Chain A
Amino acid sequence: MKLTLDVWRQPDAASPGAFETYVVTDATPEMTLLELLDRLNDQLVAEGREPVAFESDCREGICGCCGVNVDGRPHGPERGTPSCEQHVRSFADGDRVVIEPLRSAAFPVVKDLVVDRSALDRVIQAGGHVAVDAGTAPDADVTTIDHRTAEMALDFAACIGCGACVAACPNGSASLFTGAKLTHLATLPQTRAERGRRAVAMVDQMEHDFGPCSTYGECALVCPAGIPLSAIAAVGKERMRAFLRGRAT
């Protein structure tokens, strides 16, 4: 397959970027999108041109490292699929494909297709954890957790932290990401103790770096972990709950 790629090139955060056009003539349908970039980079290096910087690690859809916009869509054309599991079979021979970094004011470009998503970790750092020190936990079987509750917590805990939700949102909101963590930890009985304090801390931090939610729902459409859209409701709900109760739990 022959594909023409318009790839965003930007040397660093301070410099302006621009698209450059490359042609890969030996793409195959079973290649992943990232293997297509590997192929392109091999070609560029052979020509003595600097390869395209892009982030990837596990290439199994779980680490959340990868993430590029493909024809304006975070991760690529296949719905609910991370960039590393997008395949060239989604394109037709001769197609022109635009590849650029995840776009959000909260994610400054580091280089080419690599962005800085540390704002997401700042949300977690503010309160997305549990105040239990090593060795102090009670027997995990003492508190029973019914199957449905555990499964529901897991539905929200499945977030891989890729940031596609932010890039898809017209407002650049991180509500799906934040709401997923709030719901996960509020659902499980053993992590519920700091529920109120956690909600206030995380939502405050989120609002500092990200935009507000206007319930467009674009986030859930691109989420590779299938985080339910109801996560965005948890952001307002959990904070309101903390406000009304006026206490940490």
Chain B
Amino acid sequence: MSRTDAPGTDGTDAMGSDMTGTTAPGTTTDAGAPTLTPEDVRRVGEPLDGRVPEVPAEQAWDDRRLHYDLVAPANRRKFTVIVVGTGLAGSGAAAALGELGYQVECFTIHDAPRRAHSVAAQGGINAARARKVDNDSVHRFVKDTVKGGDFRGREADAYRLAQESVRVIDHMNAIGAPFAREYGGRLATRSFGGVQVSRTYYTRGQTGQQLQVAGANALLRQVARGTVTLHTRQEMLDLIVADGRAQGIVVRDLVTGEVRAVTAHAVVLATGGYGNIYCKSTLAKNSNATAAWRAHRRGAHFANPAFIQFHPTALPLMSEWQSKTILMSESLRNDGRIWVPARAGDDRAPADIPEDERDYYLERRYPTYGNLTPRDVASRAARERIDAGHGVGPLRNAVYLDFADAVARLGRETVVSRYSNLFHMYEQATGDDPLRTPMRIAPGAHFAMGGLWSDYDLMTSVPGLFVGGEVGWGYHGANRLGANSLLSACVDGWFTLPYAVPGYLAPLLGSHVLPPDHEAVLDALEAVRARTQRLLRNDGTQGPDRFHRRLGEILYRCAGVTRTPEGLAQGIAEIRALREEFWRDVRVLGEGSALNQELERAGRVADYLEMAELLCVDGLDRDESCGAHFRADHQTPDGEALRDDTTWCRVSAWESPAPDAPDQRFVRHDEPLTFQAVPLQTRNYA
């Protein structure tokens, strides 16, 4: 099924096609469905330079740190840095820059810095401390991360991540995160998917919460010291770019509705990932892509938007009004065994299905890693079984995660002590006790490996605009390993941006921030006000949530766990139609001059409707399977992802066309990827 054989149509024709088709995820659309070729929707622009130090990858970070310019302590207070977001990356960057003496203006949409979605991560944080004799090392960490990401991340960035991981644990421990301890008093570790060593540090099933609260409290310490000014309940709605540099942001006060500009010498975005674009995701309801997308529309290229991870241990949808797919930590796969009935359609209760009529499909297909295969592999295998009719639960949309063997082997008490709050959470959500009846789990949209493109210094294609954490892209390639996201957010925030941002600022000593009457400031303010007014005055009939749910349905179907060129083309057409309908028919009730959650949601959904098209374009364009981006037309006879390293060993960093540009196609900029320390190889978890 080569897409190049299909008749090409332009976007306008595609929009007029039938939008009502509902095919199962991962299947091709009906014959005759409109098909776009990549050339219809994108052109190729100038390549990008990641500015990685030209030394062996393991020396890159030392080399770069040696070459960063410094700012003397007395001069630091002359610089203002904006940090947007207070999750692990944002609170870390703001606190660390504040500790160094810079003036930091820190913004969050929440009422308190602790609420950021890093708080919800459960399982743990990886670190290449390699204290045990299980043969872990910095190099092995890099190998696992690069290979886990299916060779679509930057190797040198993974090295930095591994090298700085050691003192991340020391620092978070020192500022109050109570890591789990062995009986001898040493730090405890556990293992996670995609690795064969034990390098994950944790605090029960609430690692994210403990790290996040420690980080938020460190941020509040700087607020008390006067180095950081914290602005709660403020949403970034635009980026101010002047003289080719990011020099400020436009924010809306969510309580008063006031729109104002804040200018600075540099801007750090730490606003998280865009997984919520799928609507039913494991993300928090307020997680959104607006700050990142607005920055993109001001020139920050967006890397690999199609790379989205589906978490294999989310809770399945159980009812129409279910607002999200609650996440169960992957750590459960350490002791839980995943299975489905061997016979499709078997609707007996799990306890009535004898051992030899169960299919422990991960253990069968991947004996080496078993239930601990990486997330993309586990999600795809689950989706395959569910689509083949082996799904369990009332909607047949789940697989079992069974602790019976673990209880028999370890005793009930040990199993409960390891996972008590996860079991409690599951019981809260479903009413079932996982020790009596196996958990039901299903893949749910989770983590965005894609994000704003940045160079090795975490600077985007807009000079002065930096990224930290999930809003960026660098480490995880096409698939993130469990417990590497808390790490990357911490490393970026505490131990990378505090070096890289001053390196950018140093030559700007003596320069002033933009005056409030600068043309670029006034333009950005006007753009935000106009957009807000347009939403409020739109005389429609449907609230933004309805559009969001429909968008999510399109994306799960057309750009889900398994993708096809036809499905992605169909998705592009449906998204364009939905976006057109949104601007025609969205209804935003309430005022602009007060707390208005409908207005907040409408703005975010409007951005998702733009971004979703690019997500599908990237998926259509990347004519290979890699990591979480699984194209049904590129697989081995065993159903494994088939990479094309000759053509696609590179990052796709996208530029959106200006609204008035004659050529409305997206522009792809390539950054070639090279691997020295971890040679290209086929992932094999069998």
Task: Indicate, yes or no, whether A interacts with B.
Answer: yes
Residue numbers of A with Cβ under 8 A of B are 11-12, 28, 30-32, 34-36, 38-39, 41-42, 45-46, 48-51, 53, 55-65, 81, 85, 87, 89, 110-111, 114, 116-118, 120-121, 124-126, 128-141, 144-147, 149-150, 153-154, 157-158, 160-161, 184-185, 188, 190-191
Q: Which residue on A lies nearest to B224, using beta carbons? A: A125
**Which one of A42, A57, A131 lies within 8 Å of B117 (CB-CB)?**
A57
For the complex, give the distance between the alpha carbons of A87 and B431 in Å: 10
Contact A58 B284 (CB under 8 A): yes
Q: Which residue on A lies nearest to B601, using beta carbons? A: A51
Distance between B599 CB and nearest chain A CB, rounded to angstroms: 11
Contact A125 B223 (CB under 8 A): yes
Proximity string of chain B (582-594) to chain A, C-beta cutoff 8 Å, 1 when within and 0 when not: 0000010110001
For the complex, give the distance between the alpha carbons of A128 and B208 in Å: 18
Contacts of A61 in B (CB 8 A): 425, 428
For the A-B complex, the count of residue pairs with Cβ-Cβ distances under 8 Å equals 222
When A89-B431, A137-B171, A154-B204 are in contact, do A45 and B178 touch as well, CB less than 8 Å?
A: no
Contacts of A157 in B (CB 8 A): 176, 178, 203, 210, 213
- Could you say which of B174, B182, B323 has the most chain A C-beta atoms within 10 Å of its C-beta? B174
How many interface residues does B have (CB within 8 Å)? Answer: 79
Interface of A is mostly: loop
Distance between A175 CB and nearest chain B CB, rounded to angstroms: 19
Contact B203 A118 (CB under 8 A): no
For the complex, give the distance between the alpha carbons of A207 and B266 in Å: 39
**Which one of B111, B180, B326, B546 lies within 8 Å of A59 (CB-CB)?**
B326
Distance between B368 CB and nearest chain A CB, rounded to angstroms: 30
Contact B119 A62 (CB under 8 A): yes
Contacts of B589 in A (CB 8 A): 45, 48-51
For the complex, give the distance between the alpha carbons of A162 and B478 in Å: 36
Contacts of A56 in B (CB 8 A): 285
When A130-B175, A146-B181 are in contact, do A140 and B119 touch as well, CB less than 8 Å?
A: no
When A45-B587, A62-B206, A129-B217 are in contact, do A138 and B174 touch as well, CB less than 8 Å?
A: yes
- Could you say which of A146, A161, A184 has the most chain B C-beta atoms within 10 Å of its C-beta? A161
Q: Which residue on A lies nearest to B113, using beta carbons? A: A121
B674 contacts partner chain A, Cβ-Cβ < 8 Å: no
Q: Which residue on A lies nearest to B587, using beta carbons? A: A45
When A63-B119, A118-B232, A121-B220 are in contact, do A12 and B180 touch as well, CB less than 8 Å?
A: no
Additional A-B contacts beyond A42-B546, A125-B223, A138-B174 (14; CB < 8 A)? A36-B321, A41-B543, A45-B543, A46-B542, A48-B589, A124-B216, A125-B220, A125-B221, A129-B176, A129-B220, A136-B174, A140-B173, A154-B178, A161-B114
**Which one of B111, B112, B170, B595 lies within 8 Å of A140 (CB-CB)?**
B170
B179 contacts partner chain A, Cβ-Cβ < 8 Å: yes
Q: Which residue on A lies nearest to B112, using beta carbons? A: A121
Contact B184 A144 (CB under 8 A): yes
Contact B321 A141 (CB under 8 A): no
Q: Which residue on B lies nearest to A125, using beta carbons? A: B220
Contact B183 A146 (CB under 8 A): yes
